[in-house]
Structure 1
Amino acid sequence: MASVANGPYVLGPPNSPHQSKGGSNNNDKIFRFLCCPSHVLRNTGWVHSINCVAASSHSPRTPKRGSSTITRSTANKSSPSTEISTTAKIRSEVLSPFRSFRMFFYLAFIASGTLGGLIATTQLIAALTNSSRAAAVPEILNGLGIDIGAVSLFAFLYSRDNTAKNAQLARLSREENLSNLKLRVDEKRVIPLSSLRGIARLVICAGPSSFVAESFRLSEPFTESLLDRGVLVVPFATDGNLPGFEFDENEETQDITAKRKRLWQLAPFNISEWSKWLDEQKKLAGVSSDSPVYLSLRMDGRVRGSGVGYPPWNAFVAQLPPVKGMWSGLLDGMDGRIL
Structure 2
Amino acid sequence: MFFYLAFIASGSLGSLIATTQLISALTNSSKAAAIPEIAKGLGIDIGAVSVFAFLYLRENKSKNKQIARLSREENLSNLKLRVDQNKIISLSDLRGIARLVILAGPASFIMESFRLCKPFTDDLLDRGVLVVPFATDGEMPSLKFEESEDVTNVEKKKLWQLLPVYTSEWTKWLDEQKQMANVPLDAPVYISLRLDGRVRGSGVGYPPWNAFVAQLPPVKGLWSGLFDGMDGRVL
- Normalising by structure 2, what TM-score? 0.96
The CA deviation at 1:165 is: 0.8
Q: Secondary structure at the match of 2:229?
A: helix
1:148 to 46, 51, 55: 46
2 CA distance for matches of 1:177 and 1:131? 67
Residues 16-62 of structure 1 deviation map (CA, whole Å, 9 limit, x = unaligned): xxxxxxxxxxxxxxxxxxxxxxxxxxxxxxxxxxxxxxxxxxxxxxx
Residues 115-168 of structure 1 deviation map (CA, whole Å, 9 limit, x = unaligned): 111111111111111111111112211211111111111111111111111111
The CA deviation at 1:325 is: 0.8
Q: What does residue range 287-298 of structure 1 map to in structure 2 within 5 Å?
A: 287-298=183-194
Residue type of the alignment partner of 1:193: L
Q: Secondary structure at the match of 1:307?
A: strand
Asked if 1 retains the 8 angstrom alpha-carbon contact of 2:125 and 2:156, the reply is no
Residues 88-117 of structure 1 deviation map (CA, whole Å, 9 limit, x = unaligned): xxxxxxxxxxxxxxx111111111111111
2:104 to 189, 192, 206: 206
- Normalising by structure 1, what TM-score? 0.68
Residue type of the alignment partner of 1:334: M
Q: Secondary structure at the match of 1:199?
A: coil
Q: Does residue 184 of the first structure (1) align with residue 47 of the second (2)?
A: no
Asked if 1 retains the 8 angstrom alpha-carbon contact of 2:144 and 2:157, the reply is no
- 1:231 maps to 129
Q: What does residue range 154-303 of structure 1 map to in structure 2 within 5 Å?
A: 154-251=52-149, 254-303=150-199
Once superposed, which parts of structure 1, at least 4 consecutive aligned residues long, lie more than 6 Å away?
A: none
- 2:204 maps to 308
Q: Secondary structure at the match of 2:187?
A: coil
- 1:59 maps to none
Q: What does residue range 25-44 of structure 1 map to in structure 2 within 5 Å?
A: none
Identify the structure with the greater strand proportion.
Answer: 2
How many residue pairs get matched?
A: 235
Q: What does residue range 83-98 of structure 1 map to in structure 2 within 5 Å?
A: none
Q: Secondary structure at the match of 1:333?
A: coil
Residue type of the alignment partner of 1:176: E
2 CA distance for matches of 1:200 and 1:214? 23
2 CA distance for matches of 1:277 and 1:145? 49
Higher RCO structure (Cα 8 Å, ≥6 apart): 1
**Cα RMSD between the aligned structures?**
1.1
Which consecutive unaligned segments of at least 5 residues does structure 2 have?
none
Q: Secondary structure at the match of 1:279?
A: helix
The CA deviation at 1:257 is: 2.3
Q: Secondary structure at the match of 1:294?
A: strand
1 CA distance for matches of 2:20 and 2:135? 68
